[in-house]
């Protein structure tokens, strides 16, 4: 089996940063990702708060990070980690994947998260037929058409603006009486004249072959209303991927996120965690900072 000092599981912004820092410390390192590097970060249409870039897409930034990471460590994309087991040897972790087995002295969990679903009637039925979780992937097909954008955080408002700029007729639906997104994004929604419906939830998504309408429920009056639409884009948060953490006995908080200390250490010795899978602010710049800290912590512990 190939042996490494640090294996990083997940090639998002945090995982790639950890790989850069790990390699520059002179250790032998591997990043493994079940998908392409970047994961759902590739879907971000535009960021205006990442230092050094006035505006940049998630895909463009990931490609820059990836190019830098592969100069400092090995990167295996499209390789799923199935199991991590512990031993008493110097290479104390065996990482089993869909393609091979590897040994490592330390493990950094950068497993990220996936889109949370509404669990509304018709959501699964119309996935790919008008229901989408990725504006940059599918928005092009809805230029000039009516879209319901569901959510109230930064991602939802960013995607609503992106879809509006593509020429779609966007209505933003949020279950609370105000948005959670940054004021800058809320101001842009008003400036662009994007329709908003507050205090409403999507109860059902309807249609024949494709999406034709949604049933909205007023959270104050419980009144139901059918709204015609050609598409439903959903951005209502993320579910952390903690299956491997649970295998290793890593502690989670009540929301299912990994608990770490300031050095990104978990309760399991030589296991670290970073990014969206952890407790804390879900931002690229935070994940990158945590990646730098975790790689440095792992290097120090190895020494």
Catalytic residue numbers read 134, 137-138
Which regions of the chain does DSSP assign to beta strands (E)?
2-9, 29-32, 74-76, 81-86, 93-97, 101-109, 113-115, 131-132, 146-150, 169-173, 195-197, 200-207, 211-218, 224-228, 231-234, 238-240, 271-273
Could you tell me whether strands 2-9 and 113-115 are parallel, antiparallel, or unpaired per DSSP bridges? Answer: unpaired
φ and ψ of 8, to 5 deg: -110, 125
Q: Is 98 helix (H, G, I), strand (E, B) or coil?
A: coil
Q: Is 9 helix (H, G, I), strand (E, B) or coil?
A: strand
Burial-class residue 113 by CB neighbours within 10 Å (0-12, 13-18, 19+). buried
Closest by Cα among 2, 250, 5, 236 to 111: 250
Burial-class residue 243 by CB neighbours within 10 Å (0-12, 13-18, 19+). exposed
What is the layout of strands, in order, in the sheet containing 131-132?
131-132, 231-234, 146-150, 169-173, 195-197
């Amino acid at each position: 089996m190939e042996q490494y000092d640090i294996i990083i599981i997940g090639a998002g912004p945090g995982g790639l940063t950890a790989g850069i820092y790990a390699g520059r410390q002179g250790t032998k390192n591997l990043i493994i990702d079940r998908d392409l590097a970047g994961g759902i970060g590739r879907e971000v249409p535009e960021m205006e708060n990442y230092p050094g870039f006035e505006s940049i897409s998630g895909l463009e930034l990931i490609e820059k990070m990836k190019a830098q990471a592969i100069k400092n460590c090995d990167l295996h994309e499209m390789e799923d980690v199935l199991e991590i087991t512990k031993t008493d040897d110097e290479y104390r972790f065996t990482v089993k994947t869909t393609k091979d087995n590897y040994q490592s002295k330390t493990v950094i969990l950068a497993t990220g998260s996936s889109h949370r679903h509404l669990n509304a009637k018709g959501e699964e039925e119309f996935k790919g037929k008008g229901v989408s979780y990725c504006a940059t992937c599918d928005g092009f097909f809805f230029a000039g058409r009516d879209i319901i954008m569901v959510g109230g955080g930064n991602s939802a408002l960013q995607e609503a603006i992106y879809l509006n700029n593509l020429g779609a007729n966007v209505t933003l639906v949020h279950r609370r009486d105000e948005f959670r997104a940054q004021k800058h994004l809320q101001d842009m929604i008003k400036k662009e004249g994007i329709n908003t419906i507050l205090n409403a939830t999507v109860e059902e998504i309807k249609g024949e072959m494709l999406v034709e309408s949604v049933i909205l429920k007023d959270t104050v009056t419980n009144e139901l209303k059918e709204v015609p639409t050609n598409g439903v884009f959903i951005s209502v948060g993320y579910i952390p991927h903690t299956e491997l953490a649970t295998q290793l006995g890593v502690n989670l908080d009540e929301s299912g996120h990994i608990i770490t200390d300031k050095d990104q250490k978990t309760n399991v010795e030589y296991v670290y965690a970073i990014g969206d899978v952890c407790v804390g602010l879900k931002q690229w710049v935070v994940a990158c900072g945590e990646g730098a800290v975790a790689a440095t912590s792992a290097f120090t512990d190895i020494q």
